[in-house]
Amino acid sequence: MNLGCEKTRVRLDDWLDGLLDEEVRREVNDHLAFCDECRAMFRRHLDLQGDLGALGSAAERIVAAGPSAAAGRPWRGMRFAASLAAAMALLATGYLITREDQRGVLPGGERRIALDEGQRQELTALGDLMVRRAGSDAVHIKGGPNCVAVNVETSNPKVHLVWLYGECGSEAAGDSTDDGDSSNSNETRRL
Amino acid sequence: MPEGRQLTTKATASARAGSASPAIELLRDRLMGLAVKLVWNAADAEEIVQEAFRISVSSGVGFDEERFEPWMVRTVSNLCLNHRRKRRAESLGPWIDPETGETPERVAARSEHLVRVRGAIEKLPPQQRLAITLRGMESMAYEEIAEVMEISVVAARSHVHLARRALAEMIETTK
């Protein structure tokens, strides 16, 4: 059986996606062999499919190279790294709170962060991401009755970030960033 | 210092050694890939992925939930579609894989063509743009596309079909 143009074109998507069974695929190919118009149309779509694949591969290379290489300029520096660290710190803190809330461990007084091994491993992975992306060495998390403060050390020793989650007084921020160097840039964010 | 108060280098070392959720990092890389394919700027993509993680925390979606990954893919996709570009799109030249024996002129021409294709994709309606990106660049099955976009498989196929037609026409007219 020889398919007409209309029946061939209806099968274009399945042909591109490799979803046609063998017999129908052969019929489509038979039609394309003698129909210039349909062949040109299928060719255009096949080329487009190749272009999309090439764009996808280019995007993967951009990701693999990282933001600084992709932008063709030096790493944007502390501002970007710090915001990244802060976002991940927030993530870790919010996660802690969520997990503690779920477990009902919210007594009055200081909120202790005590994690079981599974939780610790998950948090460690997040912390690892955060630390690696920010070039930081450590993330300090401390708590109060209604507050968790996260102190993120960044790769710039003069820049510390403190994220406060909940009702935090100035003490939490002060304690977390007190390193005796008045030239340090301590950024405190409240949520 | 109370236990758990500090995520120390010791803990991060164990993560680097592979003992802690490499799945999160793999997911992050996957999301970065998707975001770059939609916004074409690595720094913008990075911000979007971070924002998606932040939203996941405030939404209470657990990392251990089965729906977490599709939820994150959907969130990143939506953030990308609503994204107003802050920085210019990456140039494609350095990132194209040259074919064997391909001259620099030919690579430059191909890069120019791909920039046109990318521009055409950005002109598509958001649903079509997302569907064709997921299908053509991420090689996702229609069932997965339907799950991410929260539509039927038939609708997912329809968006891809319409996007292909529109792109083929746009590219033909710009030649």
Instruction: Determine the pLDDT at residue A87.
Output: 52
How many percent of chain A have pLDDT more than 90?
A: 21
Higher-confidence position of A113 and B79: B79
Cα separation, B61 vs B82, whole angstroms: 21
B4 with A49: Cβ contact below 8 A: no
Report if pTM > 0.90. no
User: What was the ipTM of the complex prediction?
Assistant: 0.83
Surface of A (69-128) touching B: CB under 8 A: 70-72, 76, 80, 83-84, 87-88, 90-92, 94-95, 98, 112-115, 120-128
> B7 forms bridges with which residues in the sheet?
A139
Instruction: Determine the pLDDT at residue A157.
Output: 55
| Closest-CA distance of chain B to residue A12, Å | 9
Reported confidence tier of residue A184, pLDDT bands at 50, 70, 90 = very low
- For A43-99, how does the pLDDT look when each residue is reduced to its tens digit (9 = 90+)? 999 999 999 999 999 998 888 887 555 444 333 433 444 445 555 555 555 555 444
Contacts of B171 in chain A (CB under 8 A): 44, 48
A35: phi then psi, degrees, rounded to nearest 5: -105, 105
> A152 forms bridges with which residues in the sheet?
A139, A161
Q: Which of B95, B117, B134 to mutate to test the interface with A (most CBs of A within 10 A)?
A: B95
Residue B9: pLDDT above 50? no
A150 Cβ under 8 Å from any chain B Cβ: no
By the 10 Å C-beta count (0-12 exposed, 13-18 middle, 19+ buried), B160 is classed as buried
